[in-house]
Amino acid sequence: MARLRLGPLLRYVDGDTATVWVEADRPCAAEVRCADGARGTARTFQIAGHHYALIPVTGLTPGTETAYEVHLGEQAVWPPPDSAFPASTIRTPSATGDEELRVTFGSCRWAAPPSGERDPVGPDALDTLAARISAAPDTERPDVLLLLGDQVYADQTSKATQRWLAARRNLSAPSPSSRLRSNRGDPIGVQVADYEEYTHLYYESWLDPEVRWLLSTVPSCMIFDDHDVIDDWNTSAAWLAEMRATPWWRERILSGLMSYWVHQHLGNLRPEELESDELYAAVRATPDGTDTLRAFAAAADADATAARWSYRRDFGRVRLLMVDTRAARVLEEGKRAMLDADEARWLREQALEGDCDHLLIGTSLPWLLPHLIHDAEGWNAALCRGERGERWARFGEDLRRRSDLEHWAAFPQSFEALTALIAEAGSGTAAPATVCVLSGDVHHAYVAEPSWPAGDAPESRVLQLTCSPVHNSIPTSIKLGFRFGWSRVGRALGRRFARHAQVTQAGIDWRRTGGPWFGNQLMTLTLRGRTAHLRLDQARARRGGTIRLETADRRKLS
């Protein structure tokens, strides 16, 4: 009989339909059976010896909650018979769509260490959220969880994973996967090298008991960032050329894209998108879809326009646009862009189509940064494209990689294009109440609010909401740097950088209106009609070993 290896993950939910993702240990029929009679079945598909299914559940009743079980063949495999958690359930929104919507988001999560081991970076915010919900399952919980990048760390593996890698292969032997070195000079042996090793990262992260239950009962949307593949992924054309010259990079990037498609991307899609997805159909139509998926990943790596990882989700009158800010880049120095022309056109069309009460733009990398960092990234981009000569260009490229200068500010034209799109989407009689840019990456949280020149301001309230990490760390020196970056002195220093490279000043100004907050944390937007409230919760350990989420900030946005 088939056994459940990973999952279930509740991914998409609307009024009468949901999708549930699972991995089994062998080919089988996977079925979801709900207590209210709704159900769904899908055959597993195979990738690199692993067997997955994304099960469409139909017949759900809008505005209700129902427990569900997962069956593989005729065997019930979820929930486990000895589970200490409440039943996994599917909550559907009402047909009218006028109830509250709670959107919880964050990014950057190292897998929590095994139970009983000391956690060097403090309590995991996802674990803590799961504990709070499971202790009182009938109280408030997120309607959707947005994971904004770095769900797994392929380049910063845990001690436990390194022991697993050492048992699988000789990390010091002169073999293709171990003698090579990463772009930072670290041994590739303790990083993941192929698809099988990527699957281990997902096991380590998603088999955490609290997180496994949480993902089984709260719908989730995901997007990658650099560590899902490697630090600085697609930071520049020079970086990419160096990586492609190494014999280990091709397997790394193909495995990274393949595993992301399987574990994260498929579940982001609406059922109707899945039905029309040619790659999904091709993978399911063959006994082994590995070669088909590998060819797709190779095409996506060679040409940014060959795949679209961005997607749209509508939650009643709340629109979410999740934007790929890694694989859709144009890297040629004279033409650098965060999004290629096709991707930028898609984003514009989705942002301006029809009307909504709230527009959420999910981008792993913040749009608005501390002023010093924003100006430093624009200055660095000018140096790298040769504005101050070849010597400064070499210095700029080295600094770009060492300091992670690759946010929207490092692509000045893209920054201005996104700014203009946000202003246009937030203007007119049908403008949403809020336009919120949701981001992570920078290992702290803050709220920033832009201001436009007189007469150009949109009607919508526009905010940059940044929340990171879910479970990670930040050195004290970086904390001080971010605080300084928002200061008047930091801002003045940034302007000097900009003048050195003759960088044009941004067309808007902005100020920090909340934070910075440091710690393992999650933000929650509560949206109803045209009102919006924001709450920041931090995972904190108290005396006696008690760990809980505590509210660090709460505010009304509209």
Looking at residues 455-469, what average pLDDT do you find? Answer: 96
pLDDT of 183 reads 44
Look at 170 and 390; give whichever has higher pLDDT. Answer: 390
Q: Which amino acid is at 110?
A: W
Pairing of strands 39-43, 29-34: antiparallel
Angle between the N-to-C axes of helices 412-425 and 341-352, in degrees from 0 to 180, rounded to the nearest 10: 20
CA distance 6 to 245: 35
Confidence of residue 532 (pLDDT cuts 50, 70, 90): very high
pLDDT, one tens digit per residue, over 199-217 is 999 999 999 999 999 999 9
Burial class (CB in 10 A: 0-12, 13-18, 19+), 201: buried
State the SS3 of 222-255: ECCCHHHCCCCCCCCHHHHHHHHCCCCHHHHHHH
Looking at residues 121-129, what average pLDDT do you find? Answer: 95
Q: Which amino acid is at 186?
A: D
pLDDT of 169 reads 86
Which of 218-232, 285-299, 473-487 has the least mean pLDDT?
473-487
Q: What is the DSSP letter of 166?
A: H
Tallying the residues shown for the chain, one arrives at: 558
Which residue is it, tokens 């022991």? 163
Residue 539 has phi, psi (to 5 degrees) of -85, 120
pLDDT of 176 reads 37
CA distance 183 to 527: 43
Look at 110 and 184; give whichever has higher pLDDT. Answer: 110
pLDDT of 97 reads 74
pLDDT of 22 reads 98
pLDDT of 483 reads 94
Nearest to 148 by CA among 538, 468, 404: 468
pLDDT of 118 reads 85
pLDDT, one tens digit per residue, over 391-420 is 999 999 999 999 999 999 999 999 999 999
Does the pLDDT value for residue 187 go beyond 80? no
The reply to whether the predicted model has a pTM over 0.85 is yes
Does the pLDDT value for residue 558 go beyond 70? yes
Does the pLDDT value for residue 78 go beyond 80? yes
pLDDT, one tens digit per residue, over 310-345 is 999 999 999 999 999 999 999 999 899 999 999 999
Residue 119 has phi, psi (to 5 degrees) of -95, 110
Pair 446, 521: CB distance under 8 Å: no
pLDDT, one tens digit per residue, over 31-55 is 999 999 999 999 999 999 999 999 9
Confidence of residue 70 (pLDDT cuts 50, 70, 90): very high
Nearest to 535 by CA among 511, 558, 513, 556: 556
Across the chain, mean pLDDT equals 94
The residues that bridge with 447 in the sheet, in sequence order, are 465, 514
Looking at residues 64-88, what average pLDDT do you find? Answer: 96
C-alpha distances in Å from residue 31, one per residue of 16, 146, 341 = 17, 26, 41
Pair 377, 369: CB distance under 8 Å: yes
pLDDT of 184 reads 44
Cβ neighbours of 404 (radius 10 Å) = 17
Does the pLDDT value for residue 247 go beyond 80? yes
Nearest to 91 by CA among 128, 61, 53: 61
CA distance 493 to 502: 14
Does the pLDDT value for residue 28 go beyond 80? yes
- What are the tokens at 439? 């981001």
Pairing of strands 65-72, 75-78: antiparallel
Q: 334-354: string of b/e by CB count within 10 Å (b at 16+)?
A: eebbbbbeebbebbbebbeee
Confidence of residue 505 (pLDDT cuts 50, 70, 90): confident
pLDDT of 115 reads 76
